[in-house]
Amino acid sequence: MHTSGLSPATRSRAEPRRRSRLLRRAYEQRYLYAMSLPFVALVFVFNYVPIWGWLTAFQRYRPGRPFWEQQWVGLKNFTDLFQDETFYLALRNTLGMSVLGLILGFTMPIIFALLLNELRDGLFKRTVQTVSYLPHFVSWVVVAGLVYKMLSTDGGPINQLIAHFGGQPVQFMAHSTYFWGVVVLSDLWKEIGWNTIIYLAAMTAIEPALYEAARVDGAGRWQLMRHITLPGISRVVIILFVLSIGHLTAIGFEKQLLLSNPVVKDSALVLDLYALQNGIGMNKFSFGTAIGVVNSLVGLALLFGANAFFRRRTGDSII
């Protein structure tokens, strides 16, 4: 310990003085505490207490009893879960839709941003940008309604296009085979514009002199894009990629719940939906919590795995 040469006597005299100085400073900041402590309490209740609620997964939770009167069952809920075939169906659907979503939902906004960046600044560019953000602000309830409308066999434009080119109408919403595609593509439709914002911002930070120099060296448009713009945003791309790997299992249930119907329910069941059905639908609170815990742990493992991989490759940690 570094005592900077003070004798014990001086330190013990300095100690209370330091404490009273701290107390005075705290008193001077009493308004700041008044402005933050009530909200700290709210965060504690609504964000921290549910984490404590994970313990429910190790209990046979019965509602209406205090915590210490609940019966502890160890890992029983988890062993039940790993023996349940439906769990593997839900895991498969979760990973399937999120991997598809990662491939499309990650690459398309980059391509879209690159192409938008090539438009000359003007009304057209601004219009495309403004319109492309719009679906982000509309609820999934509305989007699900639009998707049903657009894909319907009864005058939906997609089927009209298919008919126009001589094809047979397709019942997109009544076949399990299409469900993943419908979810992933409607998600892409909703978020592609919004997800470009961060890339466009990164592109404006690229030194214009780099483009000038490359142009003098005879670089064409594709070469500028490939050798200047893409490397210019690569850091942002890597950060977002690692973060989205961490979110792979956290795809939620909103799209799946709203877009599914009894015919396609086997393709729509994701882990969160499975937890919802068991935990709240069937009052199996502990089992539902166990599903949530497994889901979060898989997500954390993916996040740390991806981060470790990129740290080894680039020497740069993201989290």
Residues in region 9-68 near another protein by CB under 8 A: 22, 25-26, 29, 31-32, 34-36, 39-40, 42-43, 45-54, 56, 61, 63
User: Which residue type sits at 180?
Assistant: W
The length of the chain is 319
Nearest to residue 272, comparing CAs of 48, 102, 98, 103?
98
DSSP letter, residue 57:
G
Q: Does 298 bind another protein (CB under 8 A)?
A: no
User: Which residue type sits at 155?
Assistant: G
Nearer residue to another protein within complex by CB, 6 or 24: 24
Nearer residue to another protein within complex by CB, 41 or 103: 41
Q: Does 70 bind another protein (CB under 8 A)?
A: no
User: CB neighbours of 120 closer than 8 A, spacing ≥ 6?
Assistant: none
What the block records as the tokens of 67 is 């915590």
Closest distance to another protein from the beta carbon of 312 (Å): 22
Nearer residue to another protein within complex by CB, 14 or 40: 40
Closest distance to another protein from the beta carbon of 204 (Å): 8
Closest distance to another protein from the beta carbon of 290 (Å): 9
Q: Does 258 bind another protein (CB under 8 A)?
A: yes
Question: Three-state DSSP class for 60?
Answer: strand
Angle at 241 between CA 239 and CA 247, to 5 degrees: 110
Q: Which of 292, 302, 306, 307 binds another protein (CB under 8 A)?
A: 292
Q: Which of 214, 236, 238, 298 binds another protein (CB under 8 A)?
A: 236
Q: Does 6 bind another protein (CB under 8 A)?
A: no
Q: Which of 135, 210, 214, 224 binds another protein (CB under 8 A)?
A: 135
Closest distance to another protein from the beta carbon of 5 (Å): 27
Closest distance to another protein from the beta carbon of 7 (Å): 28
What the block records as the tokens of 159 is 């089927």
User: Which residue type sits at 20?
Assistant: S
* Residue that the structure tokens 């969160």 belong to: 272
Write out the H or E segment, with its range, that includes residue 59.
strand 59-60
